[in-house]
Structures are given as structure tokens and as C-alpha cells.
Amino acid sequence: EVVMTQSPATLSVSPGERATLSCRASQSVTSSLAWYQQKPGQAPRLLIYGASTRATGIPARFSGSGSGTEFTLTISSLQSEDFAVYYCQQYNNWPYTFGQGTKLEIK
């Protein structure tokens, strides 16, 4: 099973600043990597797939990069609605696996 490790567990950032979230895979997942945002009481929402392609309706301030085992989600200028938990997920190998999440909180 591919283990996905996200860092940091919690990230404190001020509105308007940049946030950088990391995700590492225990083996190569090529570019088969997605990022999701989840707010309390809601289902996750797809942000990025294919490591760097924004999903429909996702603002341009969200960007993804990386391939192989190292991936990054960057939010260029944090808005109040961006404070949430973010998960990465690989879909290169069965079973599909998620990272444990990064909680993005207001500083």
C-alpha cells in the first residue's frame, strides 16, 4: 500500500499570505495525485487532479505541482473561505490512499 504523508499537520497563516502544503508518497505515484478541501460538516471537494490540473470552478489561487513522490499544493493569497482541512490522495495504485490531512488555520 502506498503511504501518503502530509506536512505539516497544522499550518497557521494570515489571510492574504501564501500557504504551501506538502504531500509525500512512499513510492512513485507518477502524476496520479489529487488534492481535496474539506470544511466541517461538509463532504470533501476536489481541488486538483493529475497533480497540477485545477478542477472545474476552482480559483486560480490554488495550484498544484510535483510528480513521483513529492507534491505541493500552494494557495497564493489566502481568503477566509480557504481555512479548512486539505487532503492529498494517490490513484496510481490500489488501494487508493489518502494523506492524514493538513489543517489550515487562521494565524
Residues 6+ apart with CB under 8 A from 76: 18, 61, 62, 63
Q: Please, what is the minimum distance in Å from the beta carbon of residue 100 to another protein?
A: 5
What distance in Å separates the CA atoms of residue 72 and residue 18, rounded to the nearest whole number?
Answer: 13
Q: Using the rule CB under 8 A, is 80 a contact of another protein?
A: no
Q: Using the rule CB under 8 A, is 26 a contact of another protein?
A: no
Residues in contact with another protein, counted by CB under 8 A, come to a total of 22
Q: What is the CA radius of gyration of the chain?
A: 13
Residue whose CB is less far from another protein, 2 or 75: 2
Q: Using the rule CB under 8 A, is 64 a contact of another protein?
A: no
Kindly write down the DSSP assignment for every residue of 36-47, as one continuous string.
EEE-TTS--EEE
Q: Which residues bind another protein (CB under 8 A)?
A: 34, 36, 38, 43-46, 49-50, 55-56, 87, 89, 91, 94-101
